[in-house]
Structure 1
Amino acid sequence: MSAQENKSVVEVTAKDVQGGGVVACPNPAMPLWSNHPRVFVDITHEGGGKCPYCGTVYKLKAGEQLHSAH
């Protein structure tokens, strides 16, 4: 495992999640110098999702639940 794979983990709440279970990266807390093209990271899978540009992992905070479309 390379050192780059050990990136930050961002825990999000259900209200941070858009549409079908995605969050935007870069997020507003990231410094301007680290910006990359905006991508939407799917966090609906167990363990969350990982940004393909910066490697930041996004996951739902413990106890938070996404609203089901069913």
Structure 2
Amino acid sequence: MSANTATQAPAVVEVTAKDLQGPGVVFCPNPKMTLWSNHPKVYVDLSHEGEGKCPYCGTVYRLKAGEKIAHGH
């Protein structure tokens, strides 16, 4: 299989509760991504499964083991 036909696995970014931008939400692209790979900012919801995927670049955001999402009202 050549490099052109190989599929690359999506990046997985583990986040902590303090990385969340709201109740169970992170945004993509994240600040660590390189400028050339930027796409429109989207919010990825982690509150249901503890994991979410960016619809643009496929990056998977996952809450680190043991981290809890604060549900304040």
- TM-score, structure 2 as length reference: 0.83
Q: Give the structure 1 partner of residue 45 of structure 2.
A: 42
3-state SS of 2:39 partner: coil
Q: Contact 2:46–2:62 at 8 Å: present in 1 too?
A: yes
Aligned mates of 2:12, 2:69 — CA distance in 1: 19
Q: Mark the structure with the bigger radius of gyration.
A: 2
CA distance in 2, matches of 1:44, 1:11: 14
1:21, distance to aligned residue in structure 2 (A)? 1.1
| Shift >6 Å, 4+ stretches | none
Q: Is the 8 A contact 2:23 2:71 kept in 1?
A: no
The 3-state SS of whatever aligns with 1:3 is coil
RMSD: 1.7
Query: Which structure shows the higher helix fraction?
Result: 1
Q: TM-score, normalised by structure 1?
A: 0.86
Distance 1:64 1:47 in 2: 9
Separation (CA, whole Å) in 1 of partners of 2:63 and 2:47: 9
- How many aligned residue pairs are there? 68
Displacement of 1:47? 4.9
Unaligned runs of 5+ in 2: 1-5
Cross-structure match for 1:10 = 13
Q: 1:45 to 1:3 in 2, by over 3 A?
A: farther
Please list every run of 5 or more consecutive structure 1 residues that lacks an aligned counterpart in the other structure: none
- The residue type equivalent to 1:62 in the other structure is A
